[in-house]
Amino acid sequence: MMRGEPPPAHLPGPSPELLASVVRPEIAAMTAYAVPSAQGLIKLDAMENPYSLPEHLRAELARRLAAVALNRYPAPAYQALKSAIAQRLEVPAGAALVLGNGSDELITLLSVLTARPGACVLCAWPSFVMYDLSARLAGSRFVGVDLREDFTLDVPAMLAAIAREKPALIWIAYPNNPTGNCFDDAAIEAILRAAPGLVVIDEAYQPFAQVSWMPRLAEFANLLVLRTVSKLGLAGLRLGYLAGAPDWIEQIEKVRPPYNINGLTEVAALFALDHLPVLLDQAARLRADRRSLSGELARLPGVRPFPSQANFVLARLPDGPAAARALHEHGVLVKDVGKMHPVLHNCLRFTVGTPEENAALMAALAIVLHAPS
C-alpha cells in the first residue's frame, strides 16, 4: 500500500493455527472483562459515587491540571502523593506505600509477584472477580472457598484449604463485593495466623464501612492493606494504594511499571486530598441513603435486601435476571450477579445513587414487580 492510500477495509486475521501457537490456551479460553454501555441509562451497576466535586473546586482543579507539564514524565517515586495519602488517609507510621493505576493494577502486581509453578491464590468466594482473573493471567492456580449461605466465612473450610493448598496469596475483601458484608475479625485473624504467605485485605469500600485493618498492620508480618480512591468519588483517576511493611513494598516495587501514575492523576489526587472533607461528606450522605434504599427494597413484595457496609445493596428478587432486563428497559442499569455463584441465585446489586436516582430505581422496580408505588 502506497503512503496516503486508505487502509484496507478489513485487515487479514491470523490463522487459528497461528493463534493457537502464540496465545496461551487458558487465555484463549477466557472472555474479556465486559463493561456494559450505560448511555442513556441511570447507572447503578458499578459502585461509583454519583456526586461530582462542587463547581468552585472543579474550576480550581482545572487550573491546576492546566499547569501540569505534559511533555515530562512524572516523578517516579511519587513521594508528595504518598506523603499526602499517608497523612490524610491514616496510614500507620512505619508502613510503606506503593501506588497503582487503580487497585486493579496492584492486584495484578501482587499476582505477578507471587506466581511460580504450582503457586496458589486463595479467596473466599464469591468475591471480586479480578482476584481470580489476575491469578490465572499470572499463571497461578486460583482456589475459591465457598461462603456460607449467610455470606459469612466458612472458617473450617478456609483453614482446611490453607493447609491443603499452601497459598502464596490470600485475598479478603472487607467489605466483600458483591455481598456487601465485612467478615468477622476473629475469622480473619485465624486466617492470618494460618497463612503461609501473604494475606491482602482489600478495603475498597472503607469510606462506607468505617472499619479498617490499616491500624493493625504492625500486628501481622504477612498482612497488606489495599485501598482505592475510586469509591470515595474519584473513580476516573484510577488510583489505588497498598500499605504494608517496607520489605514487602520493596519487592512489589520491582514489578511496578515506571511512571504508572500519570501526572494528571497525581495532581488531581493531591488536590482531592486537600479537600478530603468534601468527599467524606459525600460518603456520609451515601451511607444514610444506603439505609433508606435498603428499607425501601425490603418493603417490595418478594425482595430481600442483605445488610451492607459498602455503597451498594445486594438483594434477592423472585426472578433476578428478568428484573434486571426489565429495569434496563425502564432506563436503569443494575448488576445481575446471580450467575457468579449459587449462593447469589436471583441476586441483583444496586449501587446507592443520588436520592433522585434511587427514587427512579424504586419507581421502576414497583412497575417491574407489580407493586404499589
Q: Which residue has the cell 493493625?
A: 216
Looking at the chain, which residues constitute the CATH 3.90.1150.10 domain(s)?
42-53+277-368
* C-alpha R_g of the chain: 22
The helix or strand, by DSSP H or E, that contains position 206, with its residue range, turns out to be helix 206-209
**Helices within 34-95 (DSSP H only):** 55-66, 79-88
pLDDT digits (tens, 9 = 90+) for 113-170: 999 999 999 999 999 999 999 999 999 999 999 999 999 999 999 999 999 999 999 9
Share the mean pLDDT of the chain: 95
CA distance 184 to 41: 37
pLDDT digits (tens, 9 = 90+) for 165-176: 999 999 999 999
Is residue 5 predicted with pLDDT exceeding 70? no
Is residue 180 predicted with pLDDT exceeding 90? yes
pLDDT digits (tens, 9 = 90+) for 23-73: 999 889 888 888 888 889 999 999 999 999 999 999 999 999 999 999 999
Domain 42-53+277-368 in CATH 3.40.50.880: no
Residue 223 — φ and ψ, nearest 5°? -105, 135
Asked if 178 and 344 touch (Cβ cutoff 8 Å), the reply is yes
Q: How far is CA 216 from the centre of its chain?
A: 22
Question: Mind spelling out the 3-state secondary structure of 4-50?
Answer: CCCCCCCCCCCCHHHHHHHCCHHHHCCCCCCCCCCCCCEECCCCCCC
Between residues 12 and 89, which one has the greater pLDDT?
89
pLDDT given at position 32: 86
Best CA proximity match to 313, nearest among 300, 296, 325: 296
Is residue 2 predicted with pLDDT exceeding 60? no
Best CA proximity match to 306, nearest among 293, 319, 318: 293
Looking at the chain, which residues constitute the CATH 3.40.640.10 domain(s)?
70-274
Sequence letter at residue 73: Y
| Fold of domain 70-274 | Aspartate Aminotransferase; domain 2 (3.40.640)
pTM, to two decimals: 0.94
